[in-house]
Amino acid sequence: MVASFEFNTEDTANSWALILGGSSGLGFASAKKLAAKGLHICIVHRTRRSKLEEFNHTIEALRKTGIDIETFNLDALNPATIDKVKDFFTERNASVKVLLHSIAKGNLKPIYAEDASVAKLSGKDFILTTEAMAVSLYDWASAFANSGLFEENGKILTFTSEGSTKPLPNYAAVSAAKAALEAIIRSLAFELAPLKITANCIQAGVTNTESLQLIPGSDQLIAQALERNPQRRLTTPEDVANVVYLLTKPEANWINGAVIPVDGGEHLR
């Protein structure tokens, strides 16, 4: 793998992508894409021991392209983790070119089930899911913006889904979190504009990731997506990573506060 080092000019030699939840799925695909373009990568992740060897192997392969990679196998929801990563950037005099939020941690339970033994959503489930999948973005973005760690024309990006506006079985807590996430992005876009920081959501089509497979009835979601999609295929992590990369380019500086479908037209039906 040979990096084109598109980002590594004299002015951006210490520019980094900070990726939250970047050890698999959309986040990891984005890390690989941005690394291939020469952007240094910092990944905050929680990776199971069974998956850690595979993750580390890929990280070492990316390092051989000449870019710097730092990983923190820590809880992104812990304020101490934010402080530790901020210290890393401060000590290296590094700047954040893009903060990518890709945390998928939610409660997938029904609101109602005839079977009394089936666990149902509680109010606390909504709170915990929203904290993990929405409020955590605000915590990181606010901390880094207020510490002056974003570079000029820095980008804040995150992943949403059609579930933010459409009900799906067992998805209510995640749906609420995604709606909150989009609201937070709009406010970040508005209030961080004086710093020339933009914030946008990517609404990915149905993508066959580990997160999707955890949703009860995911096989049906896949079948429906294949029927709806005019190109008759699922969205891939690489499709989404390509748009993450596009949004880091200077030509995207005027895109702000948007929800951008990346699904091959799946949302049209």
pLDDT tens digits for range 118-173? 899 999 999 999 999 999 999 999 999 999 999 999 999 999 999 899 998 899 99
Lowest mean pLDDT among 2-16, 43-57, 118-132, 232-246: 2-16
Task: List CB contacts of 33: < 8 A, sequence separation 6 or more.
Answer: 238, 241, 242, 244, 245
Please check the confidence at residue 11 and state whether its pLDDT lies above 60. Answer: no
> Which tops the pLDDT comparison, 217 or 179?
179
Across 99-124, average pLDDT = 92
- Helices 136-146 and 172-191: angle between axes, nearest 10 degrees: 20
Mean pLDDT computed over every residue of the chain = 91
Instruction: Tell me what pLDDT residue 10 has.
Output: 43
Of these ranges, 40-54, 110-124, 142-156, the one predicted with the greatest mean pLDDT is: 142-156
**CATH class for the region spanning 10-262:** alpha beta
Q: Assign 9 a pLDDT band (cuts: 50, 70, 90).
A: very low
CA 152, 158, 162, 165 dihedral sign is negative
The span from the CA of 244 to the CA of 13, in Å, is 20
> d(Cα 18, Cα 15) in Å, to the nearest integer?
10
pTM: 0.91
pLDDT band at 77 (very low <50, low <70, confident <90, very high): very high
Q: What is the pLDDT of residues 169-198, one digit of tens each?
A: 899 999 999 999 999 999 999 999 999 999
pLDDT at 12: 52
Percent of the chain whose predicted confidence (pLDDT) is above 90: 69
What tokens does 44 get?
């905050």
Task: Provide the pLDDT confidence category of residue 222 given band limits of 50, 70 and 90.
Answer: confident
